[in-house]
Amino acid sequence: MRLGVNIDHVATLRQARRGKYPDPVAAAALAELGGADQITLHVREDRRHVNDRDLEILRKTVNGTLNLEMAAVQPMLDLALHHRPDTATLVPERREELTTEGGLDVGSHRDEIKRVTRGLRDAGVEVSLFVDPEVEQIKASHRVDAQAVELHTGRYCEARTNKDRARELARIIEASKAAARLGLRVAAGHGLDYWNVQPVAGIDEITELNIGYAIICRAVLTGIERAVRDMKDLIK
């Protein structure tokens, strides 16, 4: 199972002061030292966290694969063609949302998604579509020539009862199998954490998980003791 670490949340912290740190580029290097197989970043149209400078440096410094999450629009296609990530994951994007809220509705945006997919593939960038775990979305992804899908695990992660969680997991399993049957590479992500990840990691067809928030949150807590000690040493 490959792990993609999403470093957007480090950039969110940097943007809180519009300063230089914490630098998502440094976070990506450390994530790779920790075993991340992929660095994932979402350059939003409003550049609210990760920006063009981050993408430019990460393209040069990441040793594993670089996965750019982007909206299926011309300016983002231009950006991707300029920087050439290994994979582009097309995601829906709304300005007012806190984070990506749902998967792409591939059928309703078929022409635009197909056009952007073609442009990326022609440049050698693998295309993945972030979709809800629904067989219809998987079939539509295949029809627009995507090479991979990333299944949205948000509803599974938010399920409050065992019954709901089991039902959402079954949807992810069914969608994974449908995608694999069509020859699509299968990734999953959104909301995965240290308590809910294992049943998803156990699905044979899924070969990659993209996880951000839970890892960065844990890093804040596991790193606090050392950070305070370093400051105490300085001011002693």
User: Does residue 133 bind ligand PXP (CB under 6 A)?
Assistant: no
User: Does residue 93 bind ligand PXP (CB under 6 A)?
Assistant: no
Give the span between the Cα atoms of 14 and 121, in whole angstroms: 33
User: Does residue 189 bind ligand PXP (CB under 6 A)?
Assistant: yes
Judged by CB under 6 A, the residue of 80, 186, 192, 200 near ligand PXP is 192
CB of 232 to ligand PXP, least distance (A): 32
Backbone angles phi, psi at 223, to 5 degrees: -95, -10
User: Does residue 156 bind ligand PXP (CB under 6 A)?
Assistant: no
Query: 109 an active-site residue?
Result: no
Instruction: Indicate the residue among 147 and 231 with the shorter CB distance to ligand PXP.
Output: 147
38: β partners: 4, 65
Instruction: Indicate the residue among 25 and 209 with the shorter CB distance to ligand PXP.
Output: 209
User: Does residue 38 bind ligand PXP (CB under 6 A)?
Assistant: no
Helix (H) or strand (E) holding 81: helix 74-83
Q: Tell me the number of residues near ligand PXP by CB under 6 A.
A: 19
Nearest Cα residue to 150 out of 179, 112, 113, 124: 179
Q: Which stretch binds ligand PXP (CB under 6 A): 48-56, 80-88, 162-170, 184-192?
A: 184-192
CB of 188 to ligand PXP, least distance (A): 8
Catalytic residue of the set 42, 49, 83, 152: 42
Give the span between the Cα atoms of 103 and 150, in whole angstroms: 9
Give the span between the Cα atoms of 228 and 13, in whole angstroms: 18
Instruction: Indicate the residue among 77 and 90 with the shorter CB distance to ligand PXP.
Output: 90
CA quadruple 137, 143, 146, 148: dihedral positive or negative? positive
CA distances from 155 to 9, 66, 78, 162, 230 (A): 21, 26, 32, 13, 40
User: Does residue 211 bind ligand PXP (CB under 6 A)?
Assistant: yes
- The count of residues in the chain is 236
| Interface residues toward ligand PXP, by CB under 6 A | 6, 8, 42, 69, 89, 91, 99-100, 130, 150, 189-192, 210-214
Active-site amino acid positions: 42, 69, 190
